[in-house]
Amino acid sequence: MNDSTTTQTVLFSDLASKPVVAAFDEPHSSSDGGSILLKAADESLGLTRRLASSLLDQRQQGKVRHELRELLGQRVFGIACGYEDCNDAARLAEDPIQKLLVGRHPIDGGRLGSQPTLSRFETSVRRTDLYRMGEALADVILEHHAKRLRGRVRQITIDFDPTDVETHGEQQFAMFNGFYRESCYLPTVGFLTFNEEPEQYAFAAVLRPGNASTKVGAIGLLRRTIHKLRKIFRKAQLRVRLDAGFALPEVYELLEEENVEYVIGIGTNKVLGRRAEKWMKGVRRRSKRSGESEQLYRRIWYRAGGWSRRRRVVVKAEVVRLGDREPRDNPRFVITNIDGDPEELYVVNYCGRGEIENRLKEAKALYLDRVSCTSFWANQFRIMLALAALALMQEIRRRAVRTSFARAQVATIRERLFKLAARVVVSARRYVLHLPMSCPSASAWRRIAIAFGGFG
C-alpha cells in the first residue's frame, strides 16, 4: 500500500509516535455487521415475505434481476440501518451484510438494486397494492402476538394518533395546516398494547392530506381493526384510547355497538365548563393554601346536542402552578363507557396513551417523515416501509429482555447493536462474521441472537 498517494488513504503524520494511516481497503467487510439481527427478526415474523406477496409484480419477468422481496427487504433493512432513502444504494450495492440480509450470497451474490431501480419500485406500487400491504402488515403483527401469547390475552388496548410530517416541494395532497403552521401530511398511526405489557406495537399507518380532519378515515379504520382483533383474539376485551380529535358521535356509537370499551378526550364547552365550576372553586382554594398544583377527579353524565343519549364524562378539575407564574385553570374532560374510579380512568387509562408520542418519535427516527416522492401513493408506500422497519425493531427489543436494550430507543439499538464493523468470511459450510472483540454491546448482542434461536 502506498501511504501517501492512494485516494483511499489518509495519513496523519503527527498524531502519535508513528505516522497513522487510515485506509478504506478492507474487502468483504461492512459497517452494519450487527444488523444480522434484523434478518432474524424478519424470519421470526415472516414480515418481508408477507408484504412482498401482497404486491403485484407487473414487470417483464425476462428482464427481472431483483425479486420484489429483495427490493422490499433492501429498503426496509436499509431504513432500519439508518439509510433513509435510495441515494445510498450505489455505495451499499456490494455490502456483504446488506446482501446477506436480502438472501443473496454475501460475496458472490449479484449487486443489490440501484437507486433508479429502487425509485422505480417505490413509484410503481398501486393503491390496491398498498391496501393489501396494509392488511398483510396488520395480519403479521396480530398473528405473531397471538402465537406468542398462546391465548393468554385478557385485554387489548387500541391507540390511534395523527402526527404531522412536513413536506417540501410539490408532493400530491401536501396541504398547509394552520395548527402546525406548515405544509404537511397528517398520517394516522395505530398501536396495540396486549394486557399490561409496556410495549405498544405499531400495526397500521394511513397517510392523509395535511388539511384532513382527524375523523377522516377513522370509522373505517376502527371497524376493520376491531373485526380483525375479534377474529383472532375471541376472548379479549377491547379498549380504545383516542384524543379529542376523534370525539365524534359516530365513533362512540360504533364502539358501543361493537361492545368496545373506550376513553376519549373531549374538548371543553360552556356546558361542561359550568358543570366543572363547582369543583374548580374547591381546587383553587386548595391550590392557594398549598402553593402547589392541585387536581380533583369527578364523574358526571352529559348529553350534547346531536347525541342519541347521555354518556359518562370524567372531569379533571385542575389548577396548575409553575414557578412564579400565575396559577392557571386547566379543566379537562374524557368521555368513557367504563364504570370505575374517575381518577384511575383519567390518570391510568387515558393518560397512558401519552407513551404513543415516544413510539411516533421512534417511527420518525426510522424516517416515517421522509415523504419526498411526488406521488401521494409512493409516499404512502414509504410510510409502510418505515412501519415495517419499526416492527422489526420492536421485535428485537422484545427479545432483548434482561439486557440494557429492553427499553432502548430504536436509535440506540441501531447505533450500538447494528453499527459494528464486520469482516465476512465464506467457507464451504458457513458464513462467518468477524465482529470486534472490544464491542461494548457484545454480551447483549449475543443474548439477543440466542433469543432468536442462535446457539451460544
Summarised one tens digit per residue, pLDDT across range 307-319 is 989 999 999 999 9
Cell numbers for 49: 415475505
Angle at 252 between CA 331 and CA 220, to 5 degrees: 125
In a domain, residue 149? The reply is: no
Nearest to 450 by CA among 410, 395, 376, 400: 400
Same domain as 363, residue 255: yes
In a domain, residue 265? The reply is: no
Same domain as 400, residue 251: no
- Supply the DSSP symbol for 330: -
At 213 the pLDDT is 85
At 1 the pLDDT is 47
At 98 the pLDDT is 97
Same domain as 412, residue 287: no
Q: In which residue ranges of the chain is pLDDT below 50?
A: 1-5
CB 212 within 8 A of CB 229: no
In a domain, residue 251? The reply is: yes
Expressed as residue numbers, the domain containing 393 is 31-125+386-451
Same domain as 309, residue 292: yes
Same domain as 366, residue 227: yes
In a domain, residue 131? The reply is: no
In a domain, residue 456? The reply is: no
Same domain as 223, residue 197: yes
Sheet with strand 422-426: strands edge to edge: 29-30, 422-426, 431-434
- Kindly report the backbone phi and psi dihedral angles of residue 380, in degrees, each rounded to the nearest multiple of 5, phi listed first: -60, -40
In a domain, residue 428? The reply is: yes
Q: Does an H or E element contain 145, and which? A: helix 127-149
444 exposed, middle or buried (CB, 10 Å; 0-12, 13-18, 19+)?
buried
CB 207 within 8 A of CB 229: no
- Rounded to whole angstroms, the Cα distance separating 136 from 145 reads 14
At 11 the pLDDT is 83
- Rounded to whole angstroms, the Cα distance separating 265 from 356 reads 15
- Rounded to whole angstroms, the Cα distance separating 223 from 158 reads 12
At 218 the pLDDT is 86
- Rounded to whole angstroms, the Cα distance separating 297 from 336 reads 14
Global pTM reads: 0.93
Nearest to 444 by CA among 37, 20, 113: 37
Helices within 291-355 (DSSP H only): 342-344
